[in-house]
Amino acid sequence: MSKPVLVIKFGTASITHKSGELNEAVLQEIARQVAILHQDYHVVLVSSGAVGAGKGFIKEYKGTITERKAAAAIGNPLLLAKYTNYFSQYDIAIAQSLCERQHFANRNQFLQLKETYQELWDNGIIPIANENDVVSNLELKFSDNDELATLIATGFGASALLLCTSVGGLLDDQKQIIPFVEQIDEKILGFVDTDKSALGLGGMVSKLNYTRLATRMGIKVVIFGMNKPDGIIEAVAEKIGTVFAPQEASLTARQKWLGSGSIIAGNVVVDAGAVEALNKRKSLLAVGITAVDGEFERGEVFEILDQSTHVIAIARARESSVVIAQNLKTQNFEVANADEIVLL
DSSP annotation of 16: B
What percent of the chain shows pLDDT beyond 70?
Answer: 92
DSSP annotation of 251: -
Q: Which of 130, 255, 268 is nearest to 201 (CA)?
A: 130
**pLDDT (mean) for 99-117:** 87
Helix (H, G, I), strand (E, B) or coil at 9: strand
Amino acid at 146: D
**Considering the entire predicted model, what is its pTM?**
0.81
Q: Which of 40, 31, 49, 168 is nearest to 93 (CA)?
A: 31
- DSSP assignment string, 266-329: EEEEE-HHHHHHHHTTPPEEGGGEEEEES---TT-EEEEE-TT--EEEEEE-SS-HHHHHHTTT
Looking at residue 136, what is its pLDDT?
62
State how far the Cα of 243 lies from the Cα of 224, in Å rounded to an integer. 9
State how far the Cα of 163 lies from the Cα of 221, in Å rounded to an integer. 8
DSSP annotation of 171: B
- The per-residue pLDDT for range 61-97, each reduced to its tens digit, is 998 889 988 988 999 999 999 999 999 999 999 999 9
- The per-residue pLDDT for range 267-307, each reduced to its tens digit, is 999 999 999 999 999 999 999 999 999 998 998 889 899 99
